[in-house]
Amino acid sequence: MLTRIRFSAPLFMALCFGLLLTACRTAQKFTESGDYDGAIEFCVQKLRGKSKKKTEYVQGLELAFQKAQARDLRIAENLAAANRPENWEKVNNIHRKIQDRQNLVAPLLPLVSKDGYRARFEFVSIEKLEAESREKAAEYLYNRAEDLLLQADRGDRLAARDAYSTLQDLERRYFSNYKNKDRMMQDARTLGTTHILFEVKNQSDQLLPREFQDRVMAMGTYDLNSEWKVFHFKPEQGIPVDYRVVFNIRRVDISPERINEREYVDEKEIQDGWDYVLDERGNVKKDTAGNDIKTPHYIRIRAIVLEAYQTKAARLSGMLEVYDATRNVRLDARDLGTEILFEHYAATFRGDARALSEASRRCIGNRPAPFPPDEDMLVQAADRLKPDIRQELRGNRAIL
């Protein structure tokens, strides 16, 4: 059912006045708090597309626009007058904001309210000012990148990365093509990239299978390389190495092949038929329905289990060391290790199978398994170590 709500004329007028007052107060709050652009966007939204424009919004837009323009032009002039090259980025940001503001208001002009109030807007010829500040901001970033590259030439790799980021800002914010920017970015990329050589050395008394080192080294550079770090698994001619990371295998222990046997008994009480309840004369008792009265008959059954438990372990430990390749100085060292454990249960039994526990049932029927060769267990250890080595290579703070 559709319910209609009727408003009296006085109530309707009061609601309209309240909504209008709220709207006016919203624009006024923006302006009074200094958020002139918020007031401008609010008023433009209320005026756009309206044939009868309310005077309150027209005047609100006019006032907020005047205040915003005056504030921004004053700040831009002060920044420029300070004669500090680093200020030109801020100046250009202000010029662009003025440009966006004027572009937002321009489609509404001439702006006349339904009551005949005509707003006045003083636009600034901002294009020339913006072009000048953009050129000076770009020049500042370009000069800063040049200074950073001079530091990079003296061995400061982080300065090269800052130079690259600075030139990216220049390209993204101001000019896609500017002087020798592209060549400078290539130089910054070369000077800022770290090259790391990863090696594995066996310092234990054990002979490791050839496949062990192949497995450790088969991490793939795509898993390790980042924007500024390139990993190598063998020396490459013409590429200077900045860091050497060596995984030194210090100890390899392989336990003997052990078989531990034990015998145990599983017991269980189960129902085995029924016992009839007899009266004093030896006759079977009856219930009220005439049925024989009987009780469950329980027996205890047993099964003797012979279990064989096979074990063999391979333990491998070492140290991941990071060296400054130029000075051959160790910068960091981390212990790494892993263990591969072979376990197998086999069991037979004699007696009543119904007595077997669930754990015993899982082993019954298993035959003793062949022990894995030492070489296979060591290769498994290599696979187990790879994620730990990869994590250390990626996150090691000694590698810049």
Of the pLDDT bands very low, low, confident and very high (cuts 50, 70, 90), residue 290 is confident
Query: Residues 164-188: what's their mean pLDDT?
Result: 96
Looking at residue 12, its pLDDT comes to: 43
Q: In the chain, pLDDT over 70 holds for what percent of residues?
A: 94
The mean-pLDDT minimum among 38-42, 172-176, 273-277 falls in 273-277
What is the per-residue pLDDT across 329-363, written as a single tens digit (0 to 9) for each?
Answer: 999 999 999 999 999 998 999 999 898 998 888 88
- Same domain as 251, residue 351: yes
Closest CA to 399 of 226, 152, 220: 226
Looking at residue 25, its pLDDT comes to: 54
Closest CA to 400 of 196, 164, 239, 248: 196
- Same domain as 117, residue 43: yes
Query: Residues 58-71: what's their mean pLDDT?
Result: 95
- Same domain as 70, residue 157: no
Residue 4 within any structural domain of the chain: no
- Same domain as 98, residue 188: no
d(CA 380, CA 312): 13
Structural domain span for residue 217: 194-400
- Same domain as 247, residue 117: no
CATH number at residue 313: 3.30.160
Whether the bond between 387 and the residue before it is cis, its omega within 30 degrees of 0, is no
Domain boundary among 88, 105, 124: 124
Closest CA to 374 of 236, 252, 233: 252
Residue 52 within any structural domain of the chain: yes
For the ranges 21-30, 208-217, 315-324, the one whose mean pLDDT is highest: 315-324
pLDDT at 198 over 60: yes
Looking at residue 5, its pLDDT comes to: 41
d(CA 328, CA 305): 62
Query: Residues 357-378: what's their mean pLDDT?
Result: 89
Looking at residue 232, its pLDDT comes to: 93
What value does the mean pLDDT of the chain take?
Answer: 89
Residue 119 within any structural domain of the chain: yes
What is the per-residue pLDDT across 228-244, written as a single tens digit (0 to 9) for each?
Answer: 999 999 888 888 999 99
pLDDT at 9 over 90: no
- Same domain as 398, residue 300: yes
User: Is 202 exposed, middle or buried (CB count within 10 Å of its CB: 0-12, 13-18, 19+)?
Assistant: middle
pLDDT at 10 over 80: no
What is the per-residue pLDDT across 82-133, written as a single tens digit (0 to 9) for each?
Answer: 999 999 999 999 999 999 999 999 999 999 999 999 999 999 999 999 999 9
Residue 3 within any structural domain of the chain: no
What is the domain count for the chain? 3
- Same domain as 358, residue 227: yes
Contact 192, 152 (CB under 8 A): yes
- Same domain as 85, residue 171: no
- Same domain as 47, residue 170: no
E strands in 28-187: none
